[in-house]
Structure 1
Amino acid sequence: MITIENLTFRYGKSDFRLRIPRFDVQSDERVAIVGPSGSGKTTMLNLVAGILTPDGGKIDVAGTEVSSLSDVQRRRFRASTIGFVFQDFALLDYLSARQNILYPYRITPALTLNAEARDRAEALAASCGIGDKLDRHPSALSQGEQQRVAICRALVTQPKLILSDEATGNLDPDSKSRILDLLFEQASQAGAAVLAVTHDHELLPRFKRVLDFADFREGADA
């Protein structure tokens, strides 16, 4: 599902350097990434999603070399292939929770907003405990509720790859377990891989593989 080869990246003139000689994730894997803050974990997710582009190397996702696509092509590919739960949620306050969940269908011609997609959004919201809050805007939701909206948005298109940046960070222990169950259930149904950044080591036994970022970014200086 993901193949990274000889990836290099830096932010402008900063001292941050990211170098990944090789990294792979198989289509049925549930992989957790741990490591200290500022080590580049979120940066790598953004590179995989095509939000950032590498200075060098290759990133292949689901058979597409994301690093070679144009800006427009990357946005369309991301919306149709990747579900991304952002750490800051990235919700649009002028849209309701329901509209935020269905937002990928608004911006991607390859996706069709039909009754099935709407029903799936309703079902996901119910599973996340926000089924009665779909007409509210993000400013009227708690932080945990906003996070659940972001999770539903990432899953509604049945993506082939789910990227999660601290998806359970603002939830209580019971909710964390339920949300992780939902992520894995949706991944299984779609045949998707899960790549999750987390600081919650209690969740690590739930993953098939755990990588310490310092171990696989050989030679990085960040």
Structure 2
Amino acid sequence: MIFSTSNIKKSFTTGEVSEEILKGVDLTLAEGEITALVGSSGSGKSTLLTIAAGLQTPSSGEIHFDGQDLGALSPEKTRQIRAESFGFVFQSSHLVPFLTAEEQLLLMLETAGSPLSTKQQRQEVEKILDEVGMGHRKSAYPASMSGGEKQRIAIARAIVHQPKILFADEPTASLDSTKSREVMELLQKLTKTLNIATLMVTHEEDLLTYADRVLTMKDGRLA
């Protein structure tokens, strides 16, 4: 397993009231697999995903990635690992409105510290855009794209730097059923061909057929 969490707990305090959201979660992710995380609202599934992705810190517990205990690393090293090895797709595409599709991906390569030359980066971007069926839209801005096109660009941006882990939080929630299936087919294909470990939070039961494993969160624990 390339990624695991051990006894992850998370509490939030409001005034004098403390609420435990995660109550000791052990999670493993394997390369080339989509792991779907489901559960009712408030069960802790999105909190678990954001902690696993390093977007917030747990109250206690350990997170291991590629043989490293992320909690034992400096914040700078952790940020570097997240930039280089993790990819993110959310319900909203979060595309930069004044950048073209091509520029969105080039910015991601720059952020990830890509060692490729400028020419090689453009070649890689073209290849990934073709892979997600958006090569013909490389010069398009987000305002001219449909919801499905934006999400395809968001997925391309998330994988252009060849991450080892992809975190997807409700990636199809803003799409209709047809576009949702198209996006899930794309995620499934990329997970397999690029050997990515994908963790996806979803509430759409129809999409669970695309997952290799389905885990259910209930009251802060994996049921």
Q: TM-score range by the shorter chain?
A: 0.7 to 0.9
Among 187, 203, 217, which residue is 1:199 paired with?
Answer: 203
SS at match of 1:8: strand
- Counterpart of 1:68 in structure 2 is 72
- Residue-by-residue CA offset, 1:99-132 (whole Å, 9 max, x unaligned): 2123222223354354444333223333434333
What amino acid sits opposite 2:188 in the alignment? F
- Residue-by-residue CA offset, 1:170-198 (whole Å, 9 max, x unaligned): 33444333332322222223322111111
1:85 and 2:120 matched: no
SS at match of 1:20: strand
Q: 1:80, 1:111 within 8 Å by CA — same for their partners in 2?
A: no
Q: How many residues align?
A: 219
Q: Identical aligned pairs, as a percentage?
A: 33
- Counterpart of 2:180 in structure 1 is 176
Among 178, 188, 191, which residue is 2:192 paired with?
Answer: 188
Deviation of 1:216 (Å): 7.4
- Structure 1 stretch displaced more, 93-102 or 136-145: 136-145
Deviation of 1:59 (Å): 0.7
1:123 and 2:127 matched: yes
The 3 A distance-change label for structure 1 pair 114 and 173 is farther
Q: 1:19, 1:218 within 8 Å by CA — same for their partners in 2?
A: no
SS at match of 1:132: helix
Deviation of 1:211 (Å): 0.8
The 3 A distance-change label for structure 1 pair 145 and 190 is closer
Q: 1:8, 1:55 within 8 Å by CA — same for their partners in 2?
A: yes
Using the alignment, how far apart are the partners of 2:182 and 2:33 within structure 1?
A: 19
SS at match of 2:4: strand
The 3 A distance-change label for structure 1 pair 204 and 81 is same
The 3 A distance-change label for structure 1 pair 73 and 171 is same
The 3 A distance-change label for structure 1 pair 113 and 176 is farther
Matches within 5 A, 1:1-222: 1-13=2-14, 15=19, 17-109=21-113, 111-112=115-116, 114-214=118-218, 217=221
SS at match of 2:137: coil
Q: 2:37, 2:200 within 8 Å by CA — same for their partners in 1?
A: yes
Using the alignment, how far apart are the partners of 1:10 and 1:215 within structure 2?
A: 13
Q: 1:97, 1:137 within 8 Å by CA — same for their partners in 2?
A: yes
Structure 1, unmatched stretches of 5+, are none
SS at match of 2:218: helix
Please identify which structure carries the higher strand content.
Answer: 2
Using the alignment, how far apart are the partners of 2:129 and 2:114 within structure 1?
A: 23
SS at match of 2:26: strand
- Structure 1 stretch displaced more, 94-103 or 157-166: 94-103
Q: 1:4, 1:20 within 8 Å by CA — same for their partners in 2?
A: no
Deviation of 1:34 (Å): 0.8
What amino acid sits opposite 1:8 in the alignment? K
Structure 2, unmatched stretches of 5+, are none
Taking only aligned residues, the RMSD between alpha carbons, in angstroms, comes to 2.6
Give the TM-score normalised by the residue count of structure 2: 0.84
Give the TM-score normalised by the residue count of structure 1: 0.84
What amino acid sits opposite 1:149 in the alignment? I
